[in-house]
Amino acid sequence: MFILWILTGFCLYSVASATYARWANNFHASRANEVDKPTTSSSSQPHIIFIMVDDQGFRDVGYHGSEIKTPTLDWLAATGVKLENYYVQPLCSPSRSQLMTGRYQIHTGLQHSIIRPTQPNCLPVENITLPQKLKSAGYSTHMVGKWHLGFYKRSCMPTQRGFDTFFGSLLGSGDYYSHYKCDSPGMCGYDLHEGEEAAWEQDRGIYSTHMYTQKAVNILARHNPKRPIFLYLAFQAVHSPLQVPSRYLERYKSIPNLHRRKYAAMVSCLDEAMRNITLALKRYGYYNNMVMVYSSDNGGQPMAGGSNWPLRGSKGTYWEGGIRAVGFVHSPLLAKRGTRCKALMHITDWYPTLVTLAEGTLDENQSLDGYDVWESISEGLPSPRQDILHNIDPIYTKAKNGSWKAGYGIWNTAVQAALRVGDWKLLTGIPGYSDWIPPQTFSNQLLANRWHNERVRWDRGKTVWLFNITADPFERVDLSRRYPHIVKKMLLRLLQYDKTAVPCRYPPKDYRSNPQYNGGVWGPWYSDEDEEEDENYNVLSNYLGKRRRRQKAKRKGKFKRKT
């Protein structure tokens, strides 16, 4: 009897313990859900989080086969949509200008290079920017990180271009801790800003990836998730200089190449930042009604540790390694998650796509070059985009062997240009450094001349290339001689684009930009009188540009009649 009583008591205790355990688990789970459960938004407009990273190579993410560990990026991409036919521009300012305007460089006058800190130049103020459009649709707009779209006058600053708040840098690069930048000897200054003023008081010498992440988290914590927010987080990482807290280097001791090791550590730090941003989006109630876009601004720079392997070329070139980017969309609002999108996409497409998602309006007179590609991303439908003008640069060094003859009398092949139409890609002029460079992981040579790479010798002197990018994404087989009729068609398309180009804006250095004249800070130096003169110059420049194009068209008409 006693034994029976003991067994009964034990069974009752086990049942009670199991019941309590289930109750405790449910209680803790419900408490966790209260923390992570998104607040129901009173608006159908999704929160938009756009993450722009700097100089991340095509290979430099785990899901592209890299030795660099990126568990957060891999998870976000795997549970979202990977963009595997996605293009940007080969340099910082061009990509950012096209994101902000939805227009090609030839239509904003920023066809050549980047905006230098000493140039009286910026994203033309007559262009309505993405944050301006979202703000008019009821969004709170915030920017954290790298601007790099000019600042020579106050009207060029981020807070004058649609952002309610701005915390970050105006230039293209700088020290990750001190936030100083020297453009040339004697041209050095501080580059960390809150709004339109230097952020001296907020600067604690913190590594910029950590600092920008914390700032973004604070914005999310303060904002009411019932109101739509646009957060543009433009990391400085992983652009040179190669600087990173030492604890991130520990996991890459096996990489003998110092540049690659530091670069890998910087990417890991960036991955950790993305984890913290994602947790904040869940914690503060944004996640269930959010669209996150992740994009690199251009290809990686092998000389600074990056890798675009197996793509050809690097940052600053129009080969695939310079313009085909790491990109994905992560959102619970996607119709089909866990997919790879091979639809043709370009960075200009974000403008109409995000404005439409935000229930904003697109004006017909904006003459956008981007397309709304949400259905291609979310549902896997074909892309509305058939071609991409990668660029036409009238200032870049002319190819010595280029000629009108090589361009069949249609195009001067000395001019640097690149165009994608369907499966085909055409390049003219000097596309840039063209080797295929494997990751320098197992090499201890830093900047040696004889890297482990494949040098191209068979196409020297050429000024026209044609590739079927779908069949040959690594650009190994030039088909320009085999298919001259396709070359001609694409040259005619280039010519059509060129007729719509506005004059190139690339002014000389203005020595008044020197930070020593502005309290040691990089910032606007133009006065109100200067701005008025600048506006008059722009009006005159546009008039003369149109006049030149009309005269050029007349001359071509006469030439055709004579022939």
Look at residue 380 and tell me whether its pLDDT is greater than 80.
yes
Residue 83, pLDDT score: 98
Which CA distances in Å does 496 have to 22, 392, 514, 546? 69, 11, 41, 15
Rounded mean pLDDT, 49-73:
97
Look at residue 543 and tell me whether its pLDDT is greater than 70.
no
Rounded mean pLDDT, 415-424:
98
φ, ψ for residue 58, nearest 5 deg: -60, -35
pLDDT tens string 153-206: 999 999 999 999 999 999 999 999 999 999 999 999 999 999 999 999 888 899
Q: Between 22 and 506, whose confidence is greater?
A: 506
* Residue 292 and residue 51 in contact, taking contact as beta carbons nearer than 8 Å: yes
Q: What is the pTM of this model?
A: 0.87
Whether 259 is a known active-site residue: answer no
Rounded mean pLDDT, 250-273:
96
Which residues have CB under 8 Å from 118's CB, separation 6+? 183, 184, 187, 509, 510, 511, 513, 514
pLDDT tens string 314-358: 999 999 999 999 999 999 999 999 999 999 999 999 999 999 999
φ, ψ for residue 412, nearest 5 deg: -80, 110
Residue 461, pLDDT score: 84
Buried b (16+ CB within 10 A) or exposed e, 18-49: eeeeeeeeeeeeeeeeeeeebeebeeebbbbb
Closest CA to 161 of 175, 173, 151, 169: 151
* Residue 440 and residue 260 in contact, taking contact as beta carbons nearer than 8 Å: yes
| Confidence category of residue 370, pLDDT binned at 50, 70, 90 | very high
Residue 54: alpha-carbon gap to chain centroid:
7
Q: CA–CA separation, 448 vs 303, rounded Å?
A: 10
* Residue 233 and residue 277 in contact, taking contact as beta carbons nearer than 8 Å: yes
β-strand pairing of 140-146 with 165-169 = parallel
φ, ψ for residue 203, nearest 5 deg: -85, 115
Q: CA–CA separation, 54 vs 299, rounded Å?
A: 9
Q: CA–CA separation, 433 vs 463, rounded Å?
A: 14
Q: Between 470 and 539, whose confidence is greater?
A: 470
Residue 202, pLDDT score: 86
Rounded mean pLDDT, 552-557:
58
User: Whole-number mean pLDDT of the chain?
Assistant: 89
Look at residue 246 and tell me whether its pLDDT is greater than 70.
yes
Q: CA–CA separation, 478 vs 4, rounded Å?
A: 88
Q: Could you tell me the residue ranges of all domains in the chain? A: 47-386, 395-440+454-500
- Beta-carbon count within 10 A of 563 CB: 6
Residue 13, pLDDT score: 39
Rounded mean pLDDT, 53-70:
97
CATH superfamily placement of domain 47-386: Alkaline Phosphatase, subunit A (3.40.720.10)
Catalytic residue, chosen from 47, 142, 148, 179, is 148
Bond into 241 cis (ω within 30) = yes
- Here the tokens at position 168 are 């970050």
Which CA distances in Å does 269 have to 213, 272, 456, 528? 11, 5, 35, 42
Name the burial class of residue 516, with classes exposed (0-12), middle (13-18) and buried (19+) by CB atoms within 10 angstroms of its CB: exposed
Residue 545, pLDDT score: 60
* Residue 435 and residue 312 in contact, taking contact as beta carbons nearer than 8 Å: yes
Catalytic residue, chosen from 47, 64, 92, 107, is 92
Q: CA–CA separation, 46 vs 281, rounded Å?
A: 13
* CATH architecture assigned to 395-440+454-500: 2-Layer Sandwich (3.30)
Bond into 310 cis (ω within 30) = yes
Residue 8, pLDDT score: 43
Q: CA–CA separation, 80 vs 277, rounded Å?
A: 16
Q: CA–CA separation, 127 vs 312, rounded Å?
A: 34
Look at residue 446 and tell me whether its pLDDT is greater than 80.
no
Which CA distances in Å does 348 have to 88, 111, 367, 373? 8, 15, 12, 10
Q: What DSSP letter does each residue of 295-331 carry, written as one string? A: EESS---GGGT---TTSS--TTSSSHHHHB--EEEE-
Residue 433, pLDDT score: 87
Which residues have CB under 8 Å from 435's CB, separation 6+? 312, 313, 453, 454, 455, 456
Q: CA–CA separation, 260 vs 304, rounded Å?
A: 7
Residue 541, pLDDT score: 60
Look at residue 33 and tell me whether its pLDDT is greater than 80.
no
β-strand pairing of 193-194 with 187-190 = unpaired
Angle at 370 between CA 491 and CA 123, to 5 degrees: 95
Residue 482, pLDDT score: 98
Q: Between 449 and 68, whose confidence is greater?
A: 68
Whether 223 is a known active-site residue: answer no
Residue 552, pLDDT score: 60
pLDDT tens string 486-519: 999 999 999 999 999 999 999 999 999 999 999 9
pLDDT above 70 covers a percentage of the chain that reads 83
* Residue 135 and residue 399 in contact, taking contact as beta carbons nearer than 8 Å: no
Residue 39, pLDDT score: 38
* Widest distance between CA atoms in the chain: 121
Choice among 42-56, 216-230, 501-515 with the minimum mean pLDDT: 42-56
Look at residue 23 and tell me whether its pLDDT is greater than 80.
no
